[in-house]
Amino acid sequence: MKKLLHLWLKGPRIAARLSGEQIKNMTSDMVYLKKYVCSEFVRVPNSFKEVDKWKATEFRLFLLFLSPVLLYKYLPSTYMKHLLVFHCVIRILCHPQDYKKKNEYAKKLLLYFVQCYSDLYGTENMIYTVHNLIHSSDDAKQFGPLDSFSAFPFENHLHSLKKILRKHEKPLQQIDRRIIERNAASKLKIWPNAVKYPIPVSQNNNKIPFQCSESYDILQMRYFKLSCSKVADSFCFLQNNKIVKIRHIGLQNGTPVIIGQEYINYSSYTLYPCDSRHINVFVIDDDLTELKYFPISEISKKAVVLPWNGKERFCAFPLLHSDILEGI
């Protein structure tokens, strides 16, 4: 992803090279999208001028979620379709089930992506890492979904290690002592055997329908949270693959429920190499049902819903690894 961004922003004169005005407008669009990026993403890129300073997690967010809704206005159609092949492959190989079920299809897409890369960007830009993408499907088949053996946790942990340093001298010795101290302290804590999720958080005084006894802002799952007060966290998939915009979170007979509206119209993102609905990526509009209530058992996973092609159309993506079977 980093190489592609460099080619679009600073590369040689190719059809996909963006002008200064386009880069400025694209940055404005990305800043606008930030309020729709859910809280599970700790880092959100701010500017394409700082692309050299982006962390790996920012490139991941851009590839898997932002690029389909951000770049379609700026890249020529051929280049956009080529990028979406890469996007589609990585979504498949990161998915906890699809990396097995659709592995052969992902491999074919990878071969196509690499073969077309040199035609679009020139053989001089066919670097080793691009060629190595061909083996990603085999790696996933052997080791599991890409996120299960990626280096993202190490990048995030480096920041934690830097914070525990007290001076510049002897950093390794300092880190070793702090880790020993933390391990010793953690043994003294009494941890509960299990925390029962979901947990309603931040009670409010809102009046809500369907005879719910209490109202909350947040429903905390084990690996993600849903919210009715923050737009970015207010979407989820149901078990039937319908998407709900959450309006209220409450208790009914002591059990958490969500109250919201289902989206009615679902279509495919036409530039995808396949029907995007096959990987649970949908284009939706602002047409919603009346308010309904849903027990937690009907929720499947969290959804990331981003504005696309006008204020009344959106792209909806499943948040990877947010399946409720993992989250309770």
Domain ranges of the chain: 1-143, 151-188, 199-323
What local confidence, expressed as pLDDT, does residue 215 receive? Answer: 92
Q: How far apart are CA 164 and CA 108, in angstroms?
A: 46
What local confidence, expressed as pLDDT, does residue 88 receive? Answer: 95
**For 109-132, what is each residue's pLDDT tens digit?**
999 999 999 899 888 888 877 878
What local confidence, expressed as pLDDT, does residue 186 receive? Answer: 64
pTM: 0.85
Structure tokens, 195: 């925390």
Q: Which H or E run includes 100?
A: helix 98-101
**For 187-207, what is each residue's pLDDT tens digit?**
555 554 556 889 999 999 888
Q: Are the C-beta atoms of 100 and 116 separated by less than 8 Å?
A: no
Grouped pLDDT means (10 residues each) for the chain, 328 residues: 91 88 93 92 87 89 94 94 95 92 94 91 82 87 85 69 84 87 67 71 90 91 91 95 95 91 95 93 94 92 90 90 53
